[in-house]
Chains A and B, each alone.
Chain A
């Protein structure tokens, strides 16, 4: 006998009855709530339970309608499945999903296409390493280099903002098509987008420290970044963006950190580089796994570099304004000896970028000679 006391069905008494019916198909109910005789039959009718009055109260016989029938677990909490059914939709991984939910129109549903075991660790690392642009950068630090060096920094920042915008928007396009079952990857891509948003903020703010106008955005630079938007496959897009592009970008940020004369520029470059290193690590981790599972991917990656090179063959390629700005930044003055040093440093940067690309390609299983040839085909626009 379930005694509801004076608790009404409009006060939560249905929970006591439902609890009783979860373990017994027939329950006896009594209670003193004034409206119980009106509410209880109405409640049972709506739920498909049969009810009969008795001397002491009512007998309720549980109906057989149960929306749990046909429900299935969306995998387990800890491990994603190889192929995530679209009908699992937005359900948390491991949740019991009622049958009949609408299937989401998601393109990336296969674990091999997106997964990296390192995603959870990289996400945790990223979450712990978030910094506040307002306080992490010494915005008031002195800037005492020549005006032309400041102009060079503004040109470099203009270029960085453009590249970071691509680095934000390209993964986010995949994020919107990714099955949320691959939770760790979803979280990592989301926090990567937040990283890039912050980078765009600090580079913009650095450019505005002493100037009100930004530098030049070249057609060739934009053409190079635009090709990243055309890649429909995550593996190839992340290869071009993270492994080649952001990998080279990382070398560039460390270069700026090492050669800038003001602390503010040094810090924006350093903090951005820390984040970018994680992005490269995820891209590499995913691709190493993906190539191991599907060796033919390596040929598609090589073809993607060649295709992109061909698409960009007619563009101006190297951004002369950025190249010159980097020389001036490294030189720090118009002194010819300083310019010579600056020029040599930028040439060394190019070599370091090519070497880095080659090393990452070798890590993906390309032979060293092939890696070197492919590295040479990488867009002259760094990203």
Chain B
């Protein structure tokens, strides 16, 4: 008799608890014995996954790369079984103050680039790598909020924008949707000293996915089926989907992680971790 399907997620915010408690009720009520474990950081979660302590990991894109590469090292396979509709085709943008002398992406050369946490794919690794691909390098000013959580917390990007408005950096790297989010908060405006201008937008990339390794738990197919069957029309699920930031779950795909893979290679970001990781 296999144990309950055990999912790992990273507790980047208090809302992670009601989300997974709610989903646990949903899965168990539909005949899938299910439980979850919360980790304080993605590296701990990936290690636990590699050690067989959990069956499915709700992974950030960087955690996906970590799991995929470590699994390959162990001659195992990693698969992405599902993701949010909002995980597909994101972009990051590099913004400057509207009154900045920086007019084109080339003008960013040598400038102070405000980024998010060191391990944030969207606010650090992907935009810096994208600029580097264009031959643009600057002085990186990190805004580390909750390292180990891969930029899931918006705080690092908010701090980068605050630094931009305060004049301590010349540009800020953020995820596209956060430009509008910061405008709604009133952090950035449409005119005057708080107005910002987009000088560079990366190519689209994908974000989180549910990852399984090797031979999956027997409940994995049922988990995927129930997940993909979740409807926004269901009033008991809608608040959970709103909290998790999606309208529907989609099948997993791994075609959207190339840009992050290149960034990781460019900066050797995972070399040390991979050398130490399990196996």
Contact = CB atoms under 8 A, between A and B. Distances in A.
A35 interface: yes
Given A10-B190, A11-B190, A34-B198, A46 B235 contact: no
A292 interface: no
Contacts of B243: none
Contacts of A42: 90-91, 175-177, 179-180
Interface residue tally of chain B, by bracket?
20 to 34
A34 B198 CA distance: 8
Nearest to B188: A10
A99 B89 contact: no
A37 B200 CA distance: 11
Given A43-B180, A70-B235, A35 B90 contact: no
A45 B183 contact: no
Contacts of A64: 232
Contact of B235 (A11, A41, A45, A99): A99
A43 B178 CA distance: 10
Contacts of B88: 45
A38 B232 contact: no
B167 interface: no
A65 B242 CA distance: 11
Interface string B35-55: 000000000000000000000
Contact of A35 (B177, B198, B236, B238): B198
Given A37-B201, A48-B85, A48-B247, A100 B235 contact: yes
Q: Which label, helix, strand, loop or mixed, suits the secondary structure of the B interface?
A: mixed
Contacts of A47: 247
Given A8-B190, A67-B238, A99-B235, A39 B86 contact: no
A38 B91 contact: yes
B272 interface: no
A98 B235 contact: yes
Interface in A9-37: 9-11, 34-35, 37
B241 to A, nearest CB: 8
Nearest to A47: B247
Interface of A: 8-11, 34-35, 37-39, 41-43, 45-48, 63-67, 69-70, 98-100
Given A41-B91, A46-B86, A48-B232, 4 more contacts: A10-B190, A38-B201, A41-B89, A48-B247
Interface of B: 85-86, 88-91, 93, 175-177, 179-180, 183-184, 188, 190, 197-198, 201, 232-233, 235-236, 238-239, 245, 247-248
